[in-house]
Amino acid sequence: MSAWFIRHPDYNSGTQDSDIALMKLSQPATLNSYVSPVALPTKCGTAGTMCQVSGWGAFAYPDTLQCVEVPLLTDNNCLEAYFFQMTENMICAGFMEGGKDSCQVTDRIDLEHPWSSLLSLIWRTD
């Protein structure tokens, strides 16, 4: 449970820009092999870097966290594939054609590089 939740003050629901938030747990988490802190990135990976996307989806919410490996895309590839305007606050990942991907739209995913983790919004069109 969360004690409080703060959405980024510049969040724009139309563009999904600044779609990130902070949440404080109502009680301390017990760190173990299933619960651990994530390392925040010092920089974003380059296009083609494989990342692990995990989340519960946008339409169906399974009890088990789902994961898939996807490549980071260039801004041009992202615009071509996903038809929305990228901002400097966004990264884009997925396959241009075929392959597994994240859900249709989710704002509850973790993009995990081998050396760090990022929170992001991943879009996909069918």
pLDDT for 57: 64
Contact status, residue 94 vs residue 81, Cβ threshold 8 Å: yes
Q: What's this model's pTM, rounded to 2 decimal places?
A: 0.60
* CA dist., res. 63 & res. 25, Å (int): 20
Q: pLDDT: is 104 or 58 the higher one?
A: 58
3-state secondary structure of 81: helix
DSSP string, 92-103: -BS-SSSS----
pLDDT for 61: 67
Q: Which domains does the chain have, with CATH numbers?
A: 39-123 (2.40.10.10)
* CA dist., res. 13 & res. 63, Å (int): 27
* CA dist., res. 114 & res. 47, Å (int): 15
Contact status, residue 87 vs residue 120, Cβ threshold 8 Å: no
Q: pLDDT: is 49 or 2 the higher one?
A: 49
pLDDT band at 122 (very low <50, low <70, confident <90, very high): very low
Q: What is the mean pLDDT of residues 15-42?
A: 82
* CA dist., res. 71 & res. 3, Å (int): 35
